[in-house]
């Protein structure tokens, strides 16, 4: 068999297809990082100020305060990324460490519920009007929030962002009870 024919023969095997998939899973993210690096540099505080978008960049959640005034220091990682009118937010709301599964990567129904309750995750678009920041999630951990909105009063002081939630409204117009919650974030990029 000629080398070319052998290569074509191997491309039909499950092992070869898995290798190609693995290579693409490694190469594509590397290409995205390499190709987008100069654009990400534009997310500095100085560039954000010049474009009028003071929140642009990557922010790490430092503290959270519930509507009843209880303050939680972040036990685990959490971040909000703002860029070009889009955002992605994922962070823990747990007091202390998030619950683990007894069997790694195979949680029971009870463990899943406990883990689910300790995290916020949503992404979509955002708008700024004066000191008001409005999130409009296109996807959210809580389905009712998808298509809804959250309005927040915000203030940026150097590399610190403070936000206080004014309203959270689901896609059906029903308000959530989290108004008054606030968080402090630190710009990491």
Q: Do residues 27 and 53 share a domain?
A: no
Alpha carbons 104 and 167: distance in angstroms, whole number: 37
- pLDDT confidence of residue 37: 36
Q: Are residues 75 and 147 in the same domain?
A: yes
Domain harbouring 59, CATH code? 2.40.128.280
Same domain, 9 and 85: no
DSSP state of 182: E
Domain count, the chain: 2
Chain mean pLDDT for the chain? 77
- What is the helix (H) or strand (E) element at residue 128, kind and residue range? strand 119-129
Q: Same structural domain for residues 87 and 56? A: yes
Q: Domain check: are 52 and 31 in the same one?
A: no
Query: Which residues, at least 6 apart from 108, have a Cβ–Cβ distance to it below 8 Å?
Result: 101, 102
Q: Which of 170, 110, 102, 180 lies closest to 135 in space, CA to CA?
A: 170
Range of the domain at 16: 3-40
Residue 61 and residue 28 share a domain: no
Instruction: Say what the pLDDT of residue 116 is.
Output: 85
Give the CA radius of gyration of the chain: 21
Q: Which residues, in sequence order, are CB contacts of 164 under 8 Å at separation 6+? A: 152, 153, 154, 180, 181, 182
Structure tokens at 86: 């889009």
Tokens linked to 145: 């929030």
157 and 85 fall within a common domain? yes
User: 33 and 105: one domain?
Assistant: no
Q: Is there a single domain that holds both residue 48 and residue 25?
A: no
Residues forming a β-bridge with 186: 60, 160
Do 123 and 133 lie in a common domain?
A: yes
Pair 87, 144 in one domain: yes
* pLDDT per position as a tens digit, 92-113: 887 777 888 889 899 999 998 8
pLDDT (tens digit per residue) in 9-56: 444 555 444 443 334 333 333 333 333 333 333 334 444 444 458 999
Quick one: 31 and 79 in the same domain? no
């Amino acid at each position: 068999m000629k080398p070319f024919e052998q290569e074509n023969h191997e491309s039909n095997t499950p092992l070869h297809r898995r290798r190609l998939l693995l290579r693409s899973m490694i190469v594509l993210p590397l290409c995205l990082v390499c190709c987008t690096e100069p654009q990400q540099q534009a997310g500095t505080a100085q560039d954000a100020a010049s474009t009028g978008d003071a929140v642009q960049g990557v922010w790490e959640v430092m503290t959270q305060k519930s509507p009843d005034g209880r303050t939680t220091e972040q036990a685990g990682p959490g971040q909000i990324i703002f860029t070009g009118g889009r955002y992605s937010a994922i962070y823990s709301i747990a007091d202390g460490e998030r619950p683990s599964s007894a069997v790694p990567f195979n949680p029971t129904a009870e463990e899943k519920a406990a883990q689910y309750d300790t995290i916020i995750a949503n992404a979509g678009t955002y708008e700024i009007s004066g000191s008001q920041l409005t999130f409009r999630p296109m996807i959210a951990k809580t389905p009712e929030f998808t298509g809804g909105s959250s309005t927040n009063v915000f203030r940026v002081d150097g590399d610190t962002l403070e936000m206080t939630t004014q309203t959270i409204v689901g896609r059906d117009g029903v308000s959530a009870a989290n108004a008054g919650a606030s968080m402090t974030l630190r710009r990491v990029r």
